[in-house]
Amino acid sequence: MTDVCLILEGTYPFVAGGVSTWIHQLITAMPDIRFSIMSVSPFPNPYREYKYKIPGNVFDIQDVYLHDAKTMGKRSDRKRVRRAVENVESVLDRLLDGQWDAFVDALPALRDEATRVSLADAFESEEAWDLLTRLYNRHAGEVSFLDYFWTFRSIFLPLANTMRVPVPPARLYHVVSTGYAGLIASIAKRTQDAGMLLTEHGVYTHERLLEISQATWIYTPQKERFRVQQELSYFKRVWLGFFDMMGRLTYDNADRIVTLYEGNKLKQIAAGADPGKITIIPNGIDVDHYRSIKRKPRSARRKAVGFIGRIVSIKDVKTFLHAAKIVLKTLPETEFFLLGPTNEEPDYYQECRELTRSIGVERVCRFLGKVDLKEWYAKLDVVVLTSLSEAQPYVILEANAVGIPAIATDVGACREMLEGVDEEDRVLGASGLLTGVSNSADTARAIVRVLTDPDLWRSMSEAGRTRAVESYDQTDLISKYLNIYEQMMR
Amino acid sequence: MAGIGFRLQKLLTGDDFTSSVKAFGFSALITSGPFIITVALVLFVQYVSSGNLTERGIEYLQALITYSYAFSLITVGFSYLVLTRYVADEYYRGHVTSFAAVFFSAYTIALSCWGIPVFLFFSGLSVGWGMKLCATVLYMSAVGMWLAMIFLSAAQNYWLVSRSFLIGLAVSLGASYGLGKAHGLEGYFAGFVAGQVVVLFCLVSAILKEFGYWEPRDHNWMGYYRAYPRLMGIGFFYNLGIWIDKILFWISPQGEWLDPRLRYSPIYDTPMFIAYLTILPALVYFFLLVETDFFFKYQAYYAALQQQEGLTVLERRRKAIVASLRMNLGRVLVVQGIVTLAALLAAPFLIRLAALSPIHLSVLRIGIYSAFMQVGCLICLNILLYFDHQKEALWVAATFCLLNAVFTEATLKLGLFAYGYGFGLASLVALVMALYFLNTRLERLHFWTFTRQPFPEPVLILDDEELDEAGESPAEPPVESPGGSGEPPSAAPSAA
């Protein structure tokens, strides 16, 4: 029995990334809490390796393989299979009517040793096949049966694998996404009678929506490809419905939901979460580290504007370059530094380089690639973000903590990071300016305003440094989690 | 073999009489298969040599040929379907340059496993070393022939196959007649064997001509033993099954010693061989009409599936397959019924033609009935294999083999009036079983087609480092369904 069982899908400890890093920080910062981990991944991978050094307070790491069909198990007797199929069919019919709790009612029969069926029963029995064709006739109309079949398999194999998973006992189940992990957490909550906490950094249901609507691997009939599509193809709707269902199920079962910022909260509510359960805990940074950086401006006259991030299209670098061109009309001695890896979208990077030449800013806009940011935070006068989409960008936090005002598009959590989350926070004043998306004139205006008004600059710098300490200190935020853990552990 | 029927339909579309006759001849050649060739050769030798040899000599000659061929069929049975499947798969993949190497590999392996036991068996004969060696050589060339035919049928090169057999036949005829006059029995046998060796050489050179000879050996086909162990069983049991009743008759008190190593059953062998030849019309008719018509329906089903049609269309295509099979099996039943009836009526005449005694008449009649059942069983077994129901085909073949042994043993106890019923009854039970499987499997064709699809294997990505930032996707995207990727999984079993 551990204190907290973390249920993770496609992240820690085998995949490096933002969420994984956050989880690692969380575990490391709570040496007194005993953790176990359920790690959900698609297939067993003999070549995988730990991307983090597993802290000593992690007692157990259990794997769940979604698409593993290696061990199909034995066929059960027909009566048992028939009963299981009846059970599943009634649940599916209720689910398709929008009754999310139907799933929970089905759980005991699907997990009980005495009644549950094997993968072989689910995918090789005639009873299951008849169920499949009944559902096809009832719900699918005349869509491609081949794709229907494979959609069925791709949906039900991971489901069957998650349904059968043994859940380690714990005092609290903390799941870091909805989806399959959310499903396991829901099962854990229902079977272990423990609390369930959900943290979502990105909103899983929303991300699947974007991903599936653009997916090319989901079959869309040829004739539909030629006209402007008003609605998604049958199979895309099935996939979306499936992820939407898993999302709702997780939101229903979670006792508390944590997300990073207001915008995500709204997406979660749209995806079916109860607003009353949602708390916002943003990502934090090591504030002391950034506050200790001593600013050494290059010169009072030649101001330095920084763009910090990967040179990729979602960051809309071109708007930044156009803005630079406009800024140079008023402040001809300004310099622009683009700091971040250029190799992720080489074509886009090339286009950006050509743009600097064609609008004549190549002398003052410098692409420096991946650099030591600590050194650069000391030199920059303002940091600009022109992203089309963001969650809760660290750049703003870091720049603000150093004392550099930030100019950012009004996406994701940028507004609350620059202007404050609530009344108490807003009193501190703004630590930067917000601009419209793909609006280079707006961005340029903001840059000029910050660079030409020393009083504004100073107040923003001050507000940023204070806000970073008050709202985004990693240590405080982790202790908020510790609080939640302590309240919820049974 | 699926491709062969398709080619035949093309031959028939030019509807002038000659091409149609050609198609008949060819299709008989492919499908009548090794067993009919054996039976025909044995009867042929008997007919040709009847004026020049003593009765004892003819029987001895027949027995030697029968033994050699029986050994070759049973021992090749292990590899026959496995190799056919491999060759068909490779042919459709376009990998034909290795065929000569595969042939030599299969041939070498078959001979190194069975050559010595067979030689040891023949070396116990009471005749001279010349005959012993000839018998072994006959066995060796028969094994080579069956194997070589697999490759040439895959390439649909029936002309080369028939030409090889025609040349060999002519050589056999000429050499055995010429040598037989000078050296008696030994000369006859040596001449006959020489002809069969010529057949083998013709077939091998046809393989070399057709596919070239690029590498010495290719043992990759042996992986198919692991992949399709059931095909090994089907081939073995079926070939053992069609010989087991003869073997039991040989070793029973009904059998007679020709030699310390050779037994034969004068009451049983020749009538049964003659009876077996009556199935030829049904087989030809089946492979010509049924298979070609049916094959289009069969293809249409899998085409609909791959063209991502709905269940209604698939169901329609399934019904078309069933209707086609019903109609064509009915036709075969009628045609073979007429042939069988005619053969029964002509039985006394056949007895006289083959210079048999009237005592053989009842065995011949029962043999004709039995052959009727046998052809049905063979056809259904083939259809089961088209739909890749190997497990069911194995059951049918194994049941046939076992029951043939049990029933034949029982008829031996019952006496003369029952001789031949064992083979017939075993064939009947196997036929009913095969029909049952066929019926239930086709009833649920969609189920069997789809459910047997394997789940996709993981594609291992060594570097799965994700560059996701805080707040971006924590999840793996759902695994790509092979059905939706524009390249639908091959749901059509490429039938052996």
Does ipTM top 0.85?
no
* Range B439-455 burial, b when 16+ CB lie within 10 A, else e: eebbeebbbbbbbebeb
**Residue contacts between A and B (CB atoms, under 8 Å):** 163
Contact state of B447 with A129 under an 8 Å Cβ cutoff: yes
Q: Domains in chain A, ordered, with CATH?
A: 1-284+473-490 (3.40.50.2000), 287-472 (3.40.50.2000)
List the single best residue of A49, A123, A146, A268 to mutate versus B (max B Cβ within 10 A).
Answer: A146
Contact state of A260 with B475 under an 8 Å Cβ cutoff: no
For B320-363, the pLDDT digits (tens) are 999 999 998 998 899 999 999 999 999 998 888 877 788 889 89
Same domain, B154 and B6: yes
In a domain, B5, yes or no: yes
Same domain, B444 and B347: yes
**Domain total for chain B?**
2
- Measured over the CA atoms of residue A346, residue A351, residue A356 and residue A362, the dihedral's sign is positive
Same domain, B281 and B191: no
Contact state of B470 with A48 under an 8 Å Cβ cutoff: no
In a domain, B473, yes or no: no
In a domain, B428, yes or no: yes
User: A174: closest CA among A202, A194, A198?
Assistant: A198
Per-residue pLDDT 10s for chain A (490 aa) are 899 999 998 888 887 777 888 899 899 999 999 999 999 888 787 788 888 899 999 999 999 988 888 888 888 889 999 988 888 888 888 877 777 777 777 777 888 888 888 888 888 999 999 999 998 988 887 888 888 888 888 888 888 888 888 899 999 999 998 989 999 999 999 888 899 999 998 888 888 887 777 777 677 765 555 544 556 788 888 888 888 888 998 999 999 999 999 889 999 999 989 999 999 999 888 899 999 988 887 777 789 999 998 898 889 999 999 999 999 999 999 999 999 888 888 899 999 999 999 999 989 999 999 888 888 999 999 999 999 888 888 899 999 999 999 999 998 899 999 999 888 888 899 999 999 999 999 999 999 999 999 999 999 999 999 999 998 998 888 889 999 999 998 7
Tokens of B119: 């030689």
Task: Show the domain range for B382.
Answer: 258-449
Q: Which of A16, A123, A239 is nearest residue B451 as measured by Cβ atoms?
A: A123
Instruction: For residue A219, list chain B residues with Cβ-Cβ distance below 8 A.
Output: 308, 483-484
Contact state of B474 with A177 under an 8 Å Cβ cutoff: yes
Same domain, B186 and B319: no
> What residue in A sits closest to B443 (Cα-Cα)?
A126
Same domain, B421 and B311: yes
> What residue in A sits closest to B473 (Cα-Cα)?
A202
Q: Which residues contact A113 (CB under 8 A, 6 or more apart)?
A: none
User: A66: closest CA among A141, A149, A129, A153?
Assistant: A153
Contact state of B484 with A44 under an 8 Å Cβ cutoff: no
Examine the fold and report which residue of B180, B210, B227 is the final residue of a domain before the chain moves on. B227
Q: Which of B468, B481, B488 is nearest residue A151 as measured by Cβ atoms?
A: B481
pTM assigned to the model: 0.77
In a domain, B245, yes or no: no
Q: What angle do CA A41, A46, A49 make, to 5 degrees?
A: 75
Minimal Cα–Cα distance from A397 to chain B, Å? 13
In a domain, B43, yes or no: yes
Find the DSSP H helices in A220-286.
Answer: 222-225, 234-253, 262-270
In a domain, B102, yes or no: yes
For B177-204, the pLDDT digits (tens) are 888 778 888 888 898 899 999 999 999 9
Same domain, B193 and B266: no
Same domain, B268 and B140: no
Contact state of B475 with A179 under an 8 Å Cβ cutoff: yes
Q: What is the DSSP string of B364-382?
A: HHHHHHHHHHHHHHHHHHH
Examine the fold and report which residue of B212, B227, B242 is the final residue of a domain before the chain moves on. B227
Q: Which of A207, A217, A283 is nearest residue B473 as measured by Cβ atoms?
A: A207
Same domain, B268 and B156: no
User: A253: closest CA among A203, A202, A200, A184?
Assistant: A184
Minimal Cα–Cα distance from A173 to chain B, Å? 18
Q: Which of B446, B465, B485 is nearest residue A16 as measured by Cβ atoms?
A: B465
Strands A406-409 and A382-385: parallel
In a domain, B21, yes or no: yes
In a domain, B486, yes or no: no
Contact state of B474 with A41 under an 8 Å Cβ cutoff: no
Instruction: For residue A136, list chain B residues with Cβ-Cβ distance below 8 A.
Output: 311
Contact A165, A186 (CB under 8 A): no
